[in-house]
Amino acid sequence: MPRKLEDVLDYFLPGAGVAASVAHANAYPGEEPQPIDHAHYDWSPDANPSPRTRADRPAALPIIALPIGDRDVVRAAFAWNLSVEFARFGANATLLAPADPAAASLWPPSGRGPIGAKLELVHATNLRELHRAALDLAVSRAADAQNGGVILTRVPPTWLNGTSEGRALLRWVLLFAATESKDLRETYGLAKRVLQAGPTHRLGITIHGVRRIEEAERAFSRLADTTQRHLGHAVVSYGLLMDDLHIYRAIVAHRPIGLEHPQSRAARALRDVARLLLEDAQEQALG
């Protein structure tokens, strides 16, 4: 069954977030999770095992496509920060993006970043070339993915128009949507282009720019209902992101939110979104 926003709201209520998710992840079966002291918690990957681990490793890591425009600095920041949060869970985390001069301002320097998260810029000029690069990474990184991992792949929205080659890259797509009506309409339009372009089996939405949880719930329901009614496709919720001000500050500081403002609601929410994605990625790998 598709996950709905109300199914994940408990992760964003006061007292939930990072502490709750890590406590549940580290508890033994049948054991009541113990609360985590944020001030003294060890955030290193070795001290924070992935929510689920497996002895055998997949042949390839799951790929999540993220349609992000050339000037969309905030959503690009979400993508990079999610890769850092994957690494916090001990997962193999790679963000792949076309090496386009028009989008150079979106990313930090390529290579290994904080906590082992990696940014790979490739010389791809279309969806087919980007898909090939993503597959190569998914296979090569799987060999080192003791706790699973994800290849996040930035897709220029202009590459979604009338293409047939590389469509398999769009099997799992994540969209970021703000709560304003204009942005919801634009996100719906982008979802329509995604579904027309590729064989999308999983279309996920993360709501951002949220001040109140009820605001996010209404925005997600509106977008999910419209997509189901007019496009015949279910939408999966991957939670919500709060406190965009901290995101802007982290962008200016060229630092991940989890390192620049680790106790902020923005950092806690990002970690929970990453956990939801990683759990689904691990289920997919096990399947």
Q: Provide the pLDDT for residue 105.
A: 84
Whether the pLDDT of residue 142 is over 60: the answer is: yes
| Reported pTM | 0.81
18 pLDDT above the threshold of 50: no
pLDDT digits (tens, 9 = 90+) for 181-213: 999 999 999 999 999 998 999 999 999 988 888
The confidence score (pLDDT) of residue 45 equals 39
**Mean pLDDT computed over 248-271:** 84
Segment 41-62 shows an average pLDDT of 54
- pLDDT tens digits along 241-257: 986 677 777 777 778 88
pLDDT(29) > 60: no
- Residue that wins the pLDDT comparison between 46 and 105: 105
Q: Whose structure tokens read 């990696």? A: 118
Percent above pLDDT 90 for the chain: 54
Q: Which of 34-43, 205-214, 272-281 has the lowest mean pLDDT?
A: 34-43
Quick one: pLDDT at residue 235? 96
Q: Is the pLDDT of residue 151 over 50?
A: yes
Of 175, 174, 180, give the one whose Cα is nearest residue 151: 174
Q: How many C-alpha atoms does 18 have within 13 Å on its Cβ side?
A: 23
Higher pLDDT, residue 2 or 69: 69
CB 135 within 8 A of CB 166: no
Instruction: Using pLDDT thresholds of 50, 70 and 90, give the confidence band for residue 7.
Output: low
Most confident listed range (102-116, 184-198, 254-268): 184-198
Q: What's the whole-number average pLDDT of the chain?
A: 81
Specify the higher pLDDT residue, 165 or 275: 275
pLDDT at site 158: 93
Per-residue pLDDT at 3? 63
pLDDT tens-digit map of 156-173: 999 998 667 899 999 999
- Residue 6's pLDDT band, with cuts at 50, 70 and 90, is low
Higher pLDDT, 177 or 106: 177
Mean predicted confidence (pLDDT) in 72-86 = 93
Residue 111 pairs in a beta bridge with 119
What distance in Å separates the CA atoms of residue 144 and residue 110, rounded to the nearest whole number? 20
The DSSP line for the chain is ----GGGTGGGGSTT-THHHHHHHHHSPTTPPPPP--GGG---SGGGS--SS--SS--SS--EEEEE--TT-HHHHHHHHHHHHHHHHTT-EEEEEEE--GGGGGGS--SEE-GGG-EEEEE---SHHHHHHHHHHHHHHHHTT-TT-EEEEEEE-GGGGSS--TTGGGGGEEEEEEESSHHHHHHHHHHHHHHHHHS--SEEEEEEEEESSHHHHHHHHHHHHHHHHHHH----EEEEEEE-HHHHHHHHHHTS-HHHHSTTSHHHHHHHHHHHHHHHHHHHHHH-
Percent of the chain at pLDDT > 70 equals 77
pLDDT confidence tier of residue 146, bands split at 50, 70 and 90: confident
Mean pLDDT, residues 82-95: 93
- Bigger pLDDT: 121 or 110? 121
